Chain A
Amino acid sequence: MDQDRVTLFKTAERIKEELIKASRVLPQDVQALIDKVNPEGGKAESVMNAIRQNLIQAEKQNLPMCQDTGAFWCLVRIGRSSDALLANIEKAVIEGARLAAEEGYFRKSIVNDPYGERKNTGTNLPPFIYYELADGDAVDVSFLMKGFGSENCSSLRMLNPTAGEDGVVNAVVEMMKSAGGKPCPPVFLGVGVGGTMDRAAFLSKKAFFEETADSALSERILEKVNELRIGPGGLGGFPTALSVSVLSEPTHIAGLPVALTVNCWAERKCSIRFERGEI
């Protein structure tokens, strides 16, 4: 094998291993938030107990924690001083995802021809890949394993430019109100504000990989969403959401796009850093 193929093989293997692990074990910060929940009895407590028991089972049995192992949403951040070839990165991401779906016993949840025949691709491919430039010379590959019970509750509003922070909070609360018990609460929320319609939507997913840009706004949204008392499993009580992360960017004078990505309690994700020469 030539050097390029050796590198591709190693990169794809690393991606595969991280994805398989992500399907079975939550990231430490996500698990910590679930451990910390102290429901006030009732069904909230039964649901949280089932979730905790499920996480133990998934790890012990080497099974995905949820049968919906999701669509591969992928963000590739390439250092401006990196010498990595974009075409090689794409190959590694696709191959890593393909191997993970096969060897990790992921459900093949992707279909072609969405409004027609809806024929399963049989591989859980294609992944949905975004590329960005960043500082440095490394390449960061981040995956969200996006389940669709929650994704069906993700949504977007184009607010008036004068709507302000209250408008953003209310938009998210309204979107969560119509989500109700559908997305497997307690949920994790990503909020994207500004840009264009598609940029806001993109930011609402990127938000799961960044510190919130506005912790005061995040706290406000979290509090208001929890006041809905949708509760674990949608069966009432506390909590409805466990965390809110907000990202924003400049926008047009005429608008205020607000996008919400809803993630179920099983917030499965991973980020892999490839140093210069590793990809």
Chain B
Amino acid sequence: MKKIMLPYTEETILSVQSGDDVLLSGTLYVGRDQVHKRLYDAIENGSDLPFPFAGNGIYYMGPSPAPEGFAIGAAGPTTSARMDPFSPLLIRSGLRLMIGKGPRSEAVKEAVKEYHGLYLQAYGGCGALYSSCIRKAEVIAYPELGPEALLRLQIENFPAICVIDSEGALFRG
């Protein structure tokens, strides 16, 4: 089991190999479909980005509401393939660590390889499990998107599996 502290160091990201089980801790940003569209447009238009891409990762997720006493509700990954049209540009712009579920396009795999990123798969459908790894959640941009807003999380021992590593090697099982 490899540990990844977020924000990540170059050394960490290069040491993780496809098929590795990893545990992530630290700061993690959250965005799914609409956030991706907005980040993509922001890059295209040269606008400011709502968080620094360097060293940071993005988790494809939209939580259920937090009951009293919880940092967040259920918080498992959503299907990564829907972010495929946006991810290569985001990777080129420095957002190199992605966490979601399911397969990625060839273009994403190539971008991960070229820019030495990582694609990690979280356990799909395991919303209650991931809720217990999240200590803090705050909306940092696009609050009007409701459950799809851009969040910043503090996570601890968040489990995932490396599916595409920084050399572009794909885990096939």
Interface residue? A233 (CB, 8 A):
yes
In the complex, what distance in Å separates the CA atom of A64 from the CA atom of B65?
A: 10
In the complex, what distance in Å separates the CA atom of A235 from the CA atom of B62?
A: 23
Interface residue? B51 (CB, 8 A):
no
Q: Given the known A-B contacts A53-B129, A105-B65, A182-B81, are A43 and B173 also in contact in the complex, defined by CB atoms under 8 Å?
A: yes
Interface residue? A242 (CB, 8 A):
no
Please, what's the 1-or-0 string for A33-63, where 1 marks a CB less than 8 Å from any CB in chain B? 0000000001110110011011101100111
In the complex, what distance in Å separates the CA atom of A62 from the CA atom of B65?
A: 12
**Cβ B103 vs Cβ A54 within 8 A:** no
Q: Given the known A-B contacts A54-B128, A64-B127, A105-B73, are A42 and B101 also in contact in the complex, defined by CB atoms under 8 Å?
A: no
Q: Given the known A-B contacts A233-B121, A236-B173, are A105 and B64 also in contact in the complex, defined by CB atoms under 8 Å?
A: yes
**Cβ A109 vs Cβ B123 within 8 A:** no
List the B side residues contacting A109 at CB < 8 Å. Answer: 62, 147
**Cβ B171 vs Cβ A62 within 8 A:** no
**Cβ B161 vs Cβ A65 within 8 A:** no
* B74–chain A nearest beta-carbon distance, Å: 4
**Cβ B124 vs Cβ A149 within 8 A:** yes
Closest Cβ neighbor of A53 among chain B residues = B129
Interface residue? B31 (CB, 8 A):
no
Which residue, of B61, B63, B70, B101, has the highest number of chain A Cβ atoms within 10 A? B101
**Cβ A66 vs Cβ B125 within 8 A:** yes
Closest Cβ neighbor of B163 among chain A residues = A235
Interface residue? A264 (CB, 8 A):
yes
List the A side residues contacting B56 at CB < 8 Å. Answer: none
Residues 138-173 (chain B) with a chain A CB within 8 angstroms: 146-147, 159, 161, 163, 171-173
Interface residue? A106 (CB, 8 A):
yes
Q: Given the known A-B contacts A54-B125, A58-B128, A264-B124, are A67 and B73 also in contact in the complex, defined by CB atoms under 8 Å?
A: yes
Interface residue? A257 (CB, 8 A):
no
Interface residue? A231 (CB, 8 A):
yes
Interface residue? B102 (CB, 8 A):
yes
B interface residues, tally (CB under 8 Å): 40
In the complex, what distance in Å separates the CA atom of A43 from the CA atom of B20?
A: 10
Q: Given the known A-B contacts A105-B67, A180-B102, A265-B125, are A68 and B78 also in contact in the complex, defined by CB atoms under 8 Å?
A: yes
List the B side residues contacting A58 at CB < 8 Å. Answer: 74, 127-128
List the B side residues contacting A120 at CB < 8 Å. Answer: 146-147
Which residue, of A47, A106, A180, has the highest number of chain B Cβ atoms within 10 A? A47
**Cβ A182 vs Cβ B128 within 8 A:** no
Please, what's the 1-or-0 string for B58-89, where 1 marks a CB less than 8 Å from any CB in chain A? 00011111110010011110110110000000
**Cβ B70 vs Cβ A233 within 8 A:** no
Closest Cβ neighbor of A122 among chain B residues = B146
**Cβ B101 vs Cβ A233 within 8 A:** yes
**Cβ A51 vs Cβ B125 within 8 A:** yes
**Cβ A234 vs Cβ B131 within 8 A:** no
Q: Given the known A-B contacts A43-B161, A231-B173, A236-B172, are A64 and B129 also in contact in the complex, defined by CB atoms under 8 Å?
A: no
**Cβ B64 vs Cβ A57 within 8 A:** no
* B125–chain A nearest beta-carbon distance, Å: 5
* B79–chain A nearest beta-carbon distance, Å: 5
**Cβ A54 vs Cβ B73 within 8 A:** no
Residues 146-180 (chain A) with a chain B CB within 8 angstroms: 147, 149, 152, 180
List the B side residues contacting A266 at CB < 8 Å. Answer: 125
Interface residue? A184 (CB, 8 A):
yes
**Cβ B171 vs Cβ A182 within 8 A:** no
**What 16 additional pairs, Cβ within 8 angstroms, besides A58-B74, A63-B131?**
A54-B123, A54-B125, A61-B70, A61-B131, A63-B70, A63-B74, A66-B74, A66-B76, A67-B73, A67-B74, A105-B64, A122-B146, A147-B125, A149-B101, A233-B121, A234-B121
Partner-A contacts on B (CB < 8 A): 19, 21, 34, 61-67, 70, 73-76, 78-79, 81-82, 101-103, 121, 123-129, 131-132, 146-147, 159, 161, 163, 171-173
